[in-house]
């Protein structure tokens, strides 16, 4: 198949929704690269720092059996550059991003997969706070 898949995320407080998207993304090819949002990018995206720092989040993602390569995603605006640099053929994202990366469809296939219901990093934090 020789197809390279790429996906991106913060992957803070790693949970089953993250595992599912990585597992399903890998099924579209035979090599999966994951761009992990830096702490600074996460702050820009969500106006708050992640609970786990970027190096911890990278170590966790790197140890997932479906993941072949990881790198730090510094900016949402570099998406196309990352795809080109990684020579990825397919971009896979959860459908909360549906449509947001269609501009990449001139250089790779863009696939949005359904999110895993009723789990999110924010929900986990709220539950722990209770």
Chain residues in the site for ligand C2G (CB under 6 A) = 8-11, 17-18, 20-21, 37, 45, 73, 76, 93-94, 96, 115-116, 119-120
Our answer to whether residue 48 is catalytic in this structure is yes
Our answer to whether residue 62 is catalytic in this structure is no
Separation CA 106–CA 129 (nearest Å):
44
Q: Tokens 């990366």 belong to which residue?
A: 101
Q: Which is nearer to ligand C2G, 2 or 105 (CB)?
A: 105
Beta bridge partners of 6: 33, 91
Among candidate residues 97, 25, 38, 104, the one with its CA nearest the CA of residue 71: 38
Q: Which is nearer to ligand C2G, 2 or 106 (CB)?
A: 106
Which sequence positions are flagged as catalytic? 46, 48
């Amino acid at each position: 198949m020789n197809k390279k898949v790429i996906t991106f995320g913060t992957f803070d407080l790693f949970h089953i929704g993250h595992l599912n998207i990585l597992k399903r993304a890998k099924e579209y090819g035979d090599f999966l690269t994951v761009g992990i949002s830096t702490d600074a990018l996460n702050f820009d995206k969500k106006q708050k720092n992640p609970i786990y720092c970027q190096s911890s989040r990278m170590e966790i993602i790197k140890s997932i059996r479906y993941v072949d390569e990881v790198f730090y995603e510094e900016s949402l605006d570099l998406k196309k550059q990352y795809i080109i640099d990684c020579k990825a053929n397919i971009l896979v994202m959860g459908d909360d991003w549906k449509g947001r990366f269609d501009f990449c469809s001139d250089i790779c296939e863009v696939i949005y997969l359904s999110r895993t219901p009723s789990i999110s990093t924010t929900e986990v934090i709220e539950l722990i706070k209770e």
